[in-house]
Amino acid sequence: MKKICVITTCRSDFGYLYWIMKDIEASDKLELQVMYPYTHQCHDEIWNTFTDHNNHAVLGDMNSIYDIGQFFDRCLEAYNILKPDFVLVLGDRFEIHAAATAALLLNMPIAHIHGGEVTTGAFDNELRNAITMMADIHFTSNYDYSMNLCKMGINGLKVFTVGSPGLDYIHRAKLLSKQELQQRVTIDLNQPFIVACLQPTTKEPDRETTHAFNFMAALTSIDEQILMISPNCDPKNNVIRQVAQATAKNYPSKIHIVENLDHLTYLSLLQYAEMMVGNSSSGIIESASFNIPSVTVGSRQDGRIKASNTFSCPCETDAILTAIDRAMEWNATVGKCDNLYGDGQSSKRIVGVLENV
């Protein structure tokens, strides 16, 4: 059995990796290993879902960039114990870069998902490209991204266009009904609501406070309820949290902040949301599958391929409100688009390649 060690570091990548992990577990050619930090938002779900605990490695805390050193050390230790045949990583986070570097230094082959993408407003761009150069196999979400890898000098025979595994959960899981979902959230699902999430724009740290105030000012100027998901642990995330929490105190019936949502709850909410507003990649990748408009603010996602439901604007209050109006008009007049990131069958494709590589 070929041992595949999957690295997951936060709620966002676990939702993308979930069905890959399930399909590895079901394979008669592969053995699943899982590595994740103790502070992972989905720690309990990982532990309870993937029950071969001898193949788990819990890597200590990961709360900020200052935890990278000990996380890197724990990865080295865990790899030496688990001895995987392949290390599978997704995306562009600094924790994933550390995990990939540790695998590289131990001469362990790396498979990378979501390479070739472009996000010029965040240091994720450089991290993603660095992971690409370390990897041996590449799974991309779009043909154009595969071409980007080839332009970087990657052997095209090692690049597989499989689509985004973030869409697999939408197609393979049974999403919650409105009644089931209402028991998990505080907003009134019978009234219009918007899902919002503002992540740090890591290349513009000096503007983070201004961005946060502008963003919240726009959200308080519209009629809909706001379900706002707290940001990740990127630098300056505390600034966004503080501004959002202070604003929510003044609008307690309008703005509902949640620290974390499991992937099933999150996707189920998108079924009923009026739109998405923020700068998360989910507003570009998942939103199109629900045919809901998405307003992408600031430069964090600049460079990503976007469907017709996505409206980009500066992180300025008036610009955000104008983009929201355009998104509402799209919803009323068009209301449907193709998802450029695949068909929800990525996990099976990825596992098929890993079985035969």
CATH classification of 2-164+342-356, choosing from 3.40.50.2000, 1.10.630.10, 3.30.2010.10, 3.40.50.300? Answer: 3.40.50.2000
- pLDDT tens digits, one per residue of 189-210: 999 999 999 999 988 989 999 9
Q: For the residues of 64-133, what is the DSSP string, one character each?
A: SGGGHHHHHHHHHHHHHHH--SEEEEES--HHHHHHHHHHHHTT--EEEESTT---TTSTHHHHHHHHHH
Q: What's residue 279's pLDDT?
A: 97
Are 128 and 134 within 8 A, CB to CB?
Answer: no
pTM of the entire predicted model: 0.95
The CATH classification number of 178-333 equals 3.40.50.2000
Partners of 56 in beta bridges: 34
- 295: helix, coil or strand? strand
* Alpha-carbon torsion, ordered 3, 6, 7, 12, to 10 deg: 180
- pLDDT tens digits, one per residue of 296-335: 999 999 999 999 999 999 999 999 999 999 999 999 999 9
- 207: helix, coil or strand? helix
- Residue 60 clears pLDDT 90, i.e. is over it: no
Instruction: Please give the Cα distance from 149 to 114 (Å, whole number).
Output: 11
Q: What's residue 202's pLDDT?
A: 87
Confidence of residue 272 (pLDDT cuts 50, 70, 90): very high
Q: Mean of the per-residue pLDDT values for the chain?
A: 96
* Alpha-carbon torsion, ordered 261, 140, 61, 210, to 10 deg: -70
Confidence of residue 63 (pLDDT cuts 50, 70, 90): confident
Q: How many CB atoms lie within 10 A of CB 95?
A: 26
Report domain extents, the chain.
2-164+342-356, 178-333
Of 217 and 204, the structure prediction assigns the larger pLDDT to 217
Torsion region of 280: left, alpha or beta (phi above 0 gives left; psi -120 to 50 gives alpha): beta
Of 13-27, 36-50, 287-301, the least confident:
36-50
- pLDDT tens digits, one per residue of 84-120: 999 999 999 999 999 999 999 999 999 999 999 999 9
Q: What's residue 20's pLDDT?
A: 98
Q: Could you tell me what percent of the chain has a pLDDT over 70?
A: 100
Instruction: Phi first, then psi: give them for residue 234, nearest 5 degrees.
Output: -60, 155
Q: Which of 317, 300, 272, 326 is nearest to 198 (CA)?
A: 300
Sign of CA dihedral 72, 77, 82, 84: positive
Q: What's residue 31's pLDDT?
A: 98
- Residue 12 clears pLDDT 90, i.e. is over it: no
